[in-house]
Structure 1
């Protein structure tokens, strides 16, 4: 389950450092009970990583440029 916001600061329409919550263990694929700071990584990196963990083969997702250690 993925929950979050498309803006971190609504006054500035800022879309970096988004508050995103990933709930569930992905059948043992995801490490839990921690906070991950991705240092301004695009949200597509998270989506790409989650799809990879779900064994959906793809080379890239949107503007993704790296995997996230989750």
Structure 2
């Protein structure tokens, strides 16, 4: 994926997911420029549409990772 097509917040989320799979709450705690969970969900949805992020369920928790 071409990083120039990503917003600063999208890049921050992908950076947090670069080395590990995280839940939404864990991402929110790692990314300083996003303070609201609803904003994060919007960013996650946009990244999924762009094919840059994928998710899965494990032990009733949703984990996200950079695709």
Same fold (TM over 0.5): no
Question: Normalising by structure 1, what TM-score?
Answer: 0.30
More strand by share: 2
Question: Normalising by structure 2, what TM-score?
Answer: 0.31
More helix by share: 2
Q: Which has the larger Rg? A: 1
